[in-house]
Structure 1
Amino acid sequence: MKLSVLDQSPLLPGMTPHDALQQTTELAKWTDELGFHRYWVSEHHSTESLAGSAPEILVSHLAAHTNNIRIGSGGVLLPHYSSYKVAEAFRVLETLHPGRIDLGVGRAPGGMPNVNLALNKGKLPTIEDYPAQVEELMAYLHGQDPYGQEVYATPRGETAPRVWMLGSSGTSARLAADLGTSYSFAHFINGRGGTRAMDRYKRYFSPSMQQGEPQGNISVFVVCAETNEEAEYLASSLDLALLRIEQGGRHTHFPSSDEAIHHPYTMAELDRVQENRNRIIVGTPDEVKTSIEQLAEEYNIEEVMLNTIVSPFEKRLKSYELIAEAFKLTPSLQK
């Protein structure tokens, strides 16, 4: 099984955006050394508790600071941008780091509704154009001139970034299948219905210029510690963070575990916390390993991306280390 990382560059308690991006760099280097397969960074806008607003820049930085791990976007929110420009940005990245770049794309707004307007000169993006945008993107990435106008995405080369379609529903799964992209299901966003979406993707997959067979993975929140007591303590901060996100409002940092365990939860809030645990794996290394393997079996996939948001930062590093040891990961020179 392949294990990978999804990093949203969270602001932990007492940290600044500079700290968050430094921690993203350190975590990428650490998981590269541990033997993780790929490392994706996300795109969020006008969100004070997450520092990753420009994944294409972070991908360039992280690829330059790592050696073996694949680096990619999880993902670029394509409706906001020109497919041609995105293709050129990632063709530059592929030329700098051939065979190591992933281009995950999504169609979510990446923030509050007004973000759409700010990114699109006061207009709302046309979501209906998204499938055509992905087709354009793949054509440009693979050296084609989709409109016959002698326009190519440069620099051209023999390899191309792999396009992954990101989603949390059956709609995105069917679109990935129809266009012949790889598909990543966000289990950490939607803890129910994902297995049906992945099955739909595989059942309807059509070969493309990129790949001849379906390739899927999922991303899930994971908190691992040496004891159950510590794992639950660390995960309590994520429980509260997810609850606050659902309740709306602006938050500058993720809460600490001390803050979370002293939070006066209502019965309704406790019900939501329990429901959200469908999106989180919590436990000791052996328990986490078993849960990851069971989830992969349910989805019929061979790769799981782990998203760990706990504080202090050293505990994030330790969580990935414990999981790497449980799975006996070893660094590879060829991914």
Structure 2
Amino acid sequence: MKLSILDYVPIFEGRSAHEAFQHSVELAQRAEQLGYVRYWVAEHHQVRSVASSAPEMVMMTLLEQTSNIKIGSGGVMLPHYSPYKVAEQFKMMEARHPHRVDMAIGRSPSFNNVNAALNENKERKLDFDTQLDDLNKYLNDDIDKAHRFKTLLATPLIPTKPEMYILGMSERSAKLAGRRGLPFVIAKMGQSSSAIEEVINVYKNEFARWHGRYWKSSGDGDNRAFGRTSHGSSEEDFAGDSHRGVKDYSGEHVHEAFEEESRDHVHEASEEDSRGHVHEAFKELSGGVKPYVILATFVVTGDNEVEVEELLSALQLWLLRINYLDQPQFYPSIETAKNRVYSEREKEKLEQNKRRIIYGSPREVSRQLKDIKSLFGVDELMILPNVYGEDARFELIELLARELDI
């Protein structure tokens, strides 16, 4: 199983941001030793208990302190920034560490005051699709005569480029990733299994529509044509989620409840299989790109049941405070979580938050991870080891690596 890590760089109660960064370096080094595929860093603004406000800065340190594991952003909230500057930053990292840099792009709207501060004095704001076009131009050193900055190149000029991913929880983001032929990263944050499956199906259908032929197996050896490239004369604008309730994962309030969008048109394989287990359909016909899906989820495990319950209670308290925009200066300790008295409304929210977390013994968590990988047909799982304490985080990734034999 391909297993990776998304790190929020939490600042634990009684610890400093400096200590949080140092621990993340050590955790990435241990993840590399254990065989994890990649180690990503989230981007969060005005979240006091999280130190990763500038993931590219953390990434460079992690790249310098590790040797082989892929290091990435999870992600860069592109609407806040100049695509040109983002391209320069990631090309700098790629130049220093070729074939190891992942660039996951999101578009979370963030808090209003954060939006205002990051976009102050901008004469106009580009739509997300245009920003991705610009980023692609700069990463590929394209001289595009039709572009408004046609001769502009992002330096350094290098023979390789970072791998780009699209982050999202909505069908709109899934379509965008599929149309562009990019890997798609979705978070399991409490939405129903059918909602997750639908978004993944939309991504794979859109991928098939724009990027070649795939076959659907009926299970008895009879293969039917599933989809083929179908470039139309015009493209639907998929940029920007119009529903503010739908948050792209790894932006602010990544853990908010999923609110399903009104359904966009889905390219269907056939009448009898309009939304079924589309992941069973994808077998590469010939050379070329294939759809690639990473599913991210919070996980909690430990050596015994008491430890798991304690770690779970601290994570639930942290999620609750973020939900209610109560910005603690630290990730709460086990003791703080034990002493917290909850209202009836808060208790209901705690139970809701539990559905966003995979927790239990190492064997139970591993079984659940295998089950969701099979259920959704994803290529890779990305765990969020957002538990209290440095030792607990080391233990968590070690236990799962051993149980899943990565």
Q: TM-score under structure 2 normalisation? A: 0.76
The aligned residue for residue 203 of structure 1 is 205
The aligned residue for residue 90 of structure 2 is 90
TM-fit CA distance, 1:125? 7.6
Name the SS of the counterpart of 1:305 in structure 2: strand
Structure 1 residues 137-148: aligned runs within 5 Å: 137-146=135-144, 147=147
C-alpha distance in structure 2 between counterparts of 1:28 and 1:35, whole Å: 11
Amino acid in structure 2 at the alignment position of 1:178:
R
What percentage of aligned pairs have identical amino acids? 37
The aligned residue for residue 133 of structure 1 is 131
The aligned residue for residue 292 of structure 2 is 215
8 Å CA contact 2:190, 2:352 repeated in 1: no
Which shifted more, 62-71 or 262-271? 262-271
C-alpha distance in structure 1 between counterparts of 2:333 and 2:143, whole Å: 51
TM-fit CA distance, 1:302? 2.1
Name the SS of the counterpart of 1:271 in structure 2: helix
C-alpha distance in structure 2 between counterparts of 1:324 and 1:140, whole Å: 37
Name the SS of the counterpart of 2:330 in structure 1: coil
Amino acid in structure 1 at the alignment position of 2:309:
E
TM-fit CA distance, 1:310? 1.7
Name the SS of the counterpart of 2:39 in structure 1: strand
Name the SS of the counterpart of 1:31 in structure 2: helix
Distance 1:189 1:253, change over 3 A: farther
Structure 1 residues 1-335: aligned runs within 5 Å: 1-110=1-110, 112-121=111-120, 126=125, 129-146=127-144, 147=147, 149-188=150-189, 193-205=195-207, 206-207=210-211, 212-329=289-406
Name the SS of the counterpart of 1:218 in structure 2: strand
Distance 1:101 1:125, change over 3 A: farther
8 Å CA contact 2:315, 2:388 repeated in 1: no
Name the SS of the counterpart of 1:241 in structure 2: helix
TM-fit CA distance, 1:139? 2.4
Amino acid in structure 2 at the alignment position of 1:269:
E
Deviations 1:247-304 (A, max 9, x none): 1122101112222233222332222222222211111111111011111122211211
TM-fit CA distance, 1:239? 0.8
Task: Looking at secondary structure, tell me which structure has more helix per residue.
Answer: 1
Amino acid in structure 1 at the alignment position of 2:141:
G
Amino acid in structure 2 at the alignment position of 1:119:
L
8 Å CA contact 1:43, 1:77 repeated in 2: yes
Runs in 1 of length 4+ with deviation above 4 angstroms? 122-125, 189-192
8 Å CA contact 1:296, 1:303 repeated in 2: yes
8 Å CA contact 2:11, 2:50 repeated in 1: yes
Amino acid in structure 2 at the alignment position of 1:174:
K
C-alpha distance in structure 1 between counterparts of 2:362 and 2:187, whole Å: 22
Q: Indicate the structure (1 or 2) with the bigger Cα radius of gyration.
A: 2
TM-fit CA distance, 1:191? 6.2
Amino acid in structure 2 at the alignment position of 1:251:
P
Instruction: Name stretches of at least 5 consecutive residues in structure 2 with no aligned partner.
Output: 213-287
TM-fit CA distance, 1:190? 5.1
8 Å CA contact 2:94, 2:101 repeated in 1: yes
The aligned residue for residue 333 of structure 1 is none
Distance 1:31 1:37, change over 3 A: same
TM-fit CA distance, 1:68? 1.3
C-alpha distance in structure 2 between counterparts of 1:316 and 1:19, whole Å: 14
Instruction: Name stretches of at least 5 consecutive residues in structure 1 with no aligned partner.
Output: 330-335
Name the SS of the counterpart of 2:127 in structure 1: helix
TM-fit CA distance, 1:136? 1.6
Amino acid in structure 2 at the alignment position of 1:28:
A
C-alpha distance in structure 2 between counterparts of 1:275 and 1:297, whole Å: 24
Which shifted more, 255-264 or 17-26? 255-264
The aligned residue for residue 221 of structure 2 is none
Amino acid in structure 2 at the alignment position of 1:159:
T
C-alpha distance in structure 2 between counterparts of 1:203 and 1:57, whole Å: 36
8 Å CA contact 1:116, 1:123 repeated in 2: no
C-alpha distance in structure 2 between counterparts of 1:60 and 1:255, whole Å: 28
Distance 1:249 1:140, change over 3 A: same
C-alpha distance in structure 1 between counterparts of 2:192 and 2:300, whole Å: 16
TM-fit CA distance, 1:189? 7.1
Which shifted more, 216-225 or 115-124? 115-124
TM-fit CA distance, 1:241? 1.0
Residue correspondences, number: 325
Distance 1:246 1:328, change over 3 A: same
C-alpha distance in structure 1 between counterparts of 2:354 and 2:375, whole Å: 17
